[in-house]
């Protein structure tokens, strides 16, 4: 932290410390810290951060000033003087912004955040809130999942959607590769209402994935209308991001039109060569929908590579269709751009591309792709249906990414986790370094808004995403001249740098790039 730590004890009166200790005895919920310095931070209730370049999330120009935090909230900002006994921090002209909100995250996959509650890959990006339940999948039952974070908080706030694919799996089981019956849709709806009552933000779909790919729009609409009636929202990995993109856009627009609720496109992209350069056409389509009163938005991550499975490239799920595989490698993603982050039948293939594996095997790229699909499927069947592989595929182009980042109704997301794609460790700093500082695609104030207030609006959060009196004190202090992502496609788990300090609900959770041990994150539930 940018403060003279040797003088901390001098800032506390005997009465102030005694009062804090009494509150501990009475059971006040103060976070547990791993160091004496962090313990001192827990005892104080008022913090003044001064000499900060404040970017408040509204897109207004940055200004030099101070912010006062009492307990978990922002109470005052401007030209402020320290109060007696106040914890004072000299920001030394660095940017102080609202904490970044990751609207589409997989940092909960396989219980990862619960296993790593210090959330260092998130905090070193400036992320203070992470939203789960994406692509149609969520932790079921949601009430128990969220209660786990109530009882054992992490260093970041969490929230979740309800996943359509999860509901479909629970209701239809192994027989989910077909259109659902009316009775089955009603059963999904009943489960959905239970999960919404647990505080879910709304409904998420992954219509390019199993088993959502087998659903009809009518099924999704039943669930979406039920969600809208409860004041929820809709977020979707749409039915296609490549060859059937325009039909997929029509579907989500129609869902927004019929339900009247906000709808969000997950990780908007143009993932096919014949679509490259058509970002302006897509954005005009979305703006036309907005002009009709449809509240459609998008989130976007700053990479040309996506991460999913090999099967997502084959709508017919046929590993023997070599003509289809040839089309995929020629038009959607080249064999050199398909890189494994996991391959259970042969873990040595991790970080290798299909082109490299084909060369090792002495086989064509098409035949190799087909064979790898079959090997993964055989492994999965032998292990009770467990997922056998994960890939990154290069399918996007830089100019389209820039256009989506610059759209005034998009916000930044990571779509990442603790493993795999580098976006889980670097998405937010990459935007600030590459698209703001290096390429000047958007202004710094606009980028911060896309990570904070805009994201909060898209989620329905009213108390976060801005620096203003009455807002929760989720804050990030970073150096715009040095902030940088370091995770790469073949070394995805390298921490970002340039984020100096992070506060979550008023508590310091990252100090000079190191976790403090504070676990001040909260579960953010939809208002019921």
Is 8 a residue whose pLDDT tops 80? no
DSSP element (H, E) containing 43: helix 36-43
Is 175 a residue whose pLDDT tops 90? yes
245 and 163 together in one domain: yes
Q: Which of 86, 235, 231, 116 is nearest to 165 (CA)?
A: 235
176 and 278 together in one domain: yes
Average pLDDT score over residue span 437-442: 98
Q: Which of 237, 158, 195, 218 is nearest to 461 (CA)?
A: 158
Q: Answer yes or no: is 520 within a domain.
A: no
Q: Are strands 46-54 and 87-90 parallel, antiparallel or unpaired?
A: parallel
Is 29 a residue whose pLDDT tops 70? no
Q: What SS3 class is residue 37?
A: helix
149 and 269 together in one domain: yes
Q: Which of 256, 266, 259, 225 is nearest to 131 (CA)?
A: 266
Q: Answer yes or no: is 525 within a domain.
A: no
Predicted confidence (pLDDT) per residue in 275-330, tens digit = 999 999 999 999 999 999 999 999 999 999 999 999 999 999 999 999 999 999 99
Q: Answer yes or no: is 372 within a domain.
A: yes
Is 11 a residue whose pLDDT tops 70? no
223 and 244 together in one domain: yes
Is 4 a residue whose pLDDT tops 90? no
> What are the residues whose beta carbons fall under 8 Å from the beta carbon of 66, sequence distance 6 or more?
48, 49, 50, 51, 52, 77, 78, 79, 80
Predicted confidence (pLDDT) per residue in 241-283, tens digit = 999 999 999 999 999 999 999 999 999 999 999 999 999 999 9
244 and 132 together in one domain: yes
278 and 212 together in one domain: yes
314 and 361 together in one domain: yes
Q: Answer yes or no: is 205 within a domain.
A: yes
In sequence order, the β-bridge partners of residue 265 are: 236, 298
Q: Answer yes or no: is 347 within a domain.
A: yes
151 and 261 together in one domain: yes
- Residue 41: which CATH number? 2.30.40.10
Q: Answer yes or no: is 527 within a domain.
A: no
Q: Is residue 45 very low, low, confident or very high in pLDDT (cuts 50, 70, 90)?
A: confident
Distance of CA 315 to the CA centre of its chain: 26
Planar angle of CA 85, 96, 58, nearest 5 degrees? 120
Q: Say how far apart CA 227 and CA 507 lie, in whole Å.
A: 34
168 and 277 together in one domain: yes
Is 482 a residue whose pLDDT tops 90? yes
Q: Answer yes or no: is 90 within a domain.
A: yes
Predicted confidence (pLDDT) per residue in 89-136, tens digit = 999 999 999 999 999 999 999 999 999 999 999 999 999 999 999 999
- Residue 141: asked if its preceding bond is cis (omega within 30°), the reply is yes
Q: Say how far apart CA 426 and CA 437 lie, in whole Å.
A: 15
429 and 455 together in one domain: yes
Number of domains, the chain = 3
342 and 481 together in one domain: no
Q: Answer yes or no: is 340 within a domain.
A: yes
- Residue 131: which CATH number? 3.20.20.140
405 and 289 together in one domain: yes
Last residue of a domain, one of 340, 368, 395: 395
Q: How many CB atoms lie within 10 A of CB 61?
A: 11
CA distances from 244 to 10, 251, 274 (A): 65, 11, 11
Host domain of residue 63: 5-98+467-515
Predicted confidence (pLDDT) per residue in 197-231, tens digit = 999 999 999 999 999 999 999 999 999 999 999 99
């Amino acid at each position: 932290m940018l403060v003279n730590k040797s003088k901390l004890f001098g800032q506390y009166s005997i009465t102030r410390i005694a009062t804090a200790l009494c509150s501990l005895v009475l059971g006040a919920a103060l976070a547990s810290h791993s160091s004496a310095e962090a313990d001192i931070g827990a005892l104080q209730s008022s913090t003044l951060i001064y000499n900060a370049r404040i970017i408040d999330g509204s897109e207004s120009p940055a200004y030099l000033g101070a912010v006062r935090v009492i307990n978990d909230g922002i109470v005052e900002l401007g030209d402020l003087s320290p109060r007696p006994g106040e914890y004072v921090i000299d920001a030394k002209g660095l940017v102080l912004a609202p904490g970044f909100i990751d609207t589409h995250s997989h940092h909960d996959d396989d219980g990862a955040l619960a296993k790593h509650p210090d959330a260092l890959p998130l905090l070193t990006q400036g992320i203070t809130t992470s939203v789960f339940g994406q692509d149609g999948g969520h932790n079921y039952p949601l009430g128990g999942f969220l209660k786990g974070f109530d009882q054992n908080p992490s260093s970041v706030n969490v929230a979740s959607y309800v996943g359509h694919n999860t509901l479909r799996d629970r209701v239809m089981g192994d027989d989910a590769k077909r259109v659902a019956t009316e009775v089955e849709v009603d059963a999904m709806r009943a489960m959905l209402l239970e999960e919404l009552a647990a505080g879910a933000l709304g409904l998420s779909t992954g219509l390019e994935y199993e088993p959502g790919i087998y659903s009809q729009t009518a099924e999704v609409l039943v669930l979406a209308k039920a969600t809208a009636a409860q004041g929820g929202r809709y977020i979707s990995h749409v039915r296609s991001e490549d060859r059937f993109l325009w039909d997929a856009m029509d579907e989500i627009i129609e869902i927004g039109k019929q339900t009247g609720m906000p709808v969000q496109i997950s990780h908007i992209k143009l993932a096919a060569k014949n679509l490259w350069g058509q970002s302006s056409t897509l954005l005009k389509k979305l703006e036309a929908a907005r002009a009709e009163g449809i509240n459609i938005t998008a989130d976007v991550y700053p990479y040309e590579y996506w991460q999913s499975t090999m099967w997502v490239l084959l709508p017919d799920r046929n590993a023997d269709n070599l003509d289809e595989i040839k089309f995929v490698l020629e038009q959607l993603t080249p064999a050199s751009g398909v890189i494994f982050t996991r391959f259970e039948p042969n873990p040595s293939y991790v970080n290798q591309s299909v082109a490299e594996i084909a060369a090792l095997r002495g086989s064509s790229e098409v035949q190799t792709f087909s064979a790898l699909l079959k090997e993964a499927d055989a492994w999965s069947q032998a292990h009770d249906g467990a997922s056998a592989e994960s890939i990154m595929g290069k399918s996007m182009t830089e100019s389209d990414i820039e256009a989506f980042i610059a759209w005034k109704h998009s916000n930044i997301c990571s779509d990442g986790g603790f493993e795999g794609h580098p976006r889980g460790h670097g998405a937010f700093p990459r935007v600030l370094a590459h698209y703001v500082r290096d390429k000047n695609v958007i202004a710094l104030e606009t980028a911060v808004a896309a990570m904070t207030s805009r994201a909060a609006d898209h989620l329905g959060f009213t108390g976060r995403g801005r620096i203003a009196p009455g807002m929760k004190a989720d804050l990030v202090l970073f150096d715009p001249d040095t902030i940088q992502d370091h995770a790469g496609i073949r070394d995805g788990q390298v921490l970002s740098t340039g984020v100096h300090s992070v506060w979550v609900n008023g508590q310091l959770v990252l100090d000079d790039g190191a976790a403090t041990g504070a676990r001040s994150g909260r579960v953010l539930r939809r208002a019921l």
